[in-house]
């Protein structure tokens, strides 16, 4: 008697450990000769905080003032506190808590505006601008923003306009952003990496928009280390590593291919080292790990350790499971419980039979599966009562 059944093979479950980080600490800015403003938000601020109600009125009038909603809390490792801006409670969509600094601070012939930011969603975006007041129709001399898609941008009236293109500000990670302008042209940075530019050498005008505003536009955002300078800076605060995309579990078949990836935010350059079951894989030093011609030795727990100038962080583990669909021959025996049978097989009915097992039936029916059968081109089976 010959029957066949299909089984899925080789699911391997291994323990998973959490991501770990080592010695990652940022250093706060200090005032130097080129610092125009430096706000650490360590339980207070140099600007004034308020909020407005978005009531749909035409521009020109100052938007109604309401109670601001904000808090101080943990910042980047190595810094003290940070300021979180929330939408004012019970107000219409678009109402915002904001921080205001006075005095044409961004109207520098050569200048830099920069801050650290943490966002859990882009919502309506977030901006730093220089303009007269919330609700003004004109006088917007600078807008430095994160838009609702996460793109970073900056523009100054009749001076420059630039954005970060496909480079976005990551969510759930502390990120440093900066815009500079002046004789070297306008430049845009994310974590110290140039992501946009404009060759124009203009600067934010003075005499129009006199105040500087952090405006949440109804978005929740946490900020720290806000600095305005009267030079075009090219060196910025170093940001610790944050894994923004963990490697994920994957399954593949024998001989197949699979790819593991990791996403990271922080100050580059980054180095990568992938490991299988905590043993480093030679040559696996990129953000993406592609495994080809898979076999049993590839099964296990994969992690990646990323390093930068501040330290390192190790990802959570991603399990690679090999799953193969194969057809196996099975013999179904119905007989009295405890009775003895020989399960035999042959590849040719004219040849002798080979005993595969001698069994006392533990169940009724009893199923015997021949796990070597997928390699047989032809096989016959029988159960012989003893």
Task: For residue range 9-59, list pLDDT tens digits in order.
Answer: 333 333 334 445 455 789 999 999 999 999 999 999 999 999 999 888 888
Residue 140 burial class via C-beta count within 10 angstroms: exposed 0-12, middle 13-18, buried 19 and up: middle
Cβ pair 212, 131 in contact under 8 A: no
Tens-digit pLDDT profile for residues 173-229: 999 999 999 999 999 999 999 999 999 999 988 777 689 999 988 899 999 999 999
Residue-wise pLDDT for 309-352, tens only, equals 999 999 999 999 998 888 889 899 999 999 999 999 999 999 89
Cβ burial 63-100 (10 Å sphere, 16+ → b, else e): beebebbbebeebbeebebbbbbbbbeebeeebbbbbb
């Amino acid at each position: 008697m010959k029957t066949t059944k299909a089984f899925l093979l080789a699911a391997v479950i291994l323990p998973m450990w959490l991501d770990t980080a080592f010695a990652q600490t940022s250093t706060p800015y200090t005032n130097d000769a080129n610092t125009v403003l430096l706000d650490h938000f360590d339980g207070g601020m140099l600007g004034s905080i308020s909020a407005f109600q978005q009531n749909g009125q035409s521009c020109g009038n100052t938007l109604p003032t309401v109670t601001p909603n904000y808090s101080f809390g943990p910042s980047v490792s190595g810094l003290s506190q940070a300021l979180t801006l929330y939408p004012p409670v019970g107000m219409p969509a678009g109402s915002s808590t904001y921080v205001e600094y006075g005095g044409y601070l961004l109207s520098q012939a050569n200048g830099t505006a920069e801050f650290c930011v943490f966002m859990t969603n882009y919502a309506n975006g977030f901006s730093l601008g220089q303009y007269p007041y919330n609700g003004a129709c004109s006088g917007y001399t600078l807008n430095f923003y994160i838009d609702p898609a996460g793109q970073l941008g900056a523009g100054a009236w009749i001076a420059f306009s630039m954005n970060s293109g496909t480079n976005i500000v990551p969510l759930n990670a502390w990120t440093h952003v900066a815009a500079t302008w002046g004789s070297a042209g306008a430049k845009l940075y994310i974590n110290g990496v140039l992501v946009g530019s404009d060759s124009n050498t203009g600067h934010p005008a003075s005499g129009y928009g006199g105040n500087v505003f952090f405006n949440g536009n109804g978005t929740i955002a946490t900020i720290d280390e806000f600095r305005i300078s009267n030079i075009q800076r090219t060196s910025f605060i170093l940001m610790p590593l944050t894994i923004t995309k963990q490697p994920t579990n994957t399954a593949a078949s024998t001989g197949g291919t699979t790819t593991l990836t990791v996403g990271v935010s922080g100050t580059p350059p980054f180095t990568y080292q992938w490991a299988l079951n905590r043993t480093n894989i030679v040559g696996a030093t990129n953000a993406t790990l592609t495994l080809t011609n898979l076999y049993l030795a590839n099964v296990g727990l994969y992690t990646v350790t990323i390093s930068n100038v501040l330290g390192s962080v190790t990802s959570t583990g991603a399990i690679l499971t090999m799953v193969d669909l194969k057809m196996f021959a099975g013999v179904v025996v119905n007989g009295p419980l405890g009775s003895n049978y020989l399960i035999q097989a042959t590849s040719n009915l004219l040849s002798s039979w080979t005993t595969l097992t001698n069994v006392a039936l533990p169940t009724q029916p009893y199923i015997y599966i021949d796990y070597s059968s997928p390699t047989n081109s032809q096989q016959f089976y029988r159960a012989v009562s003893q």
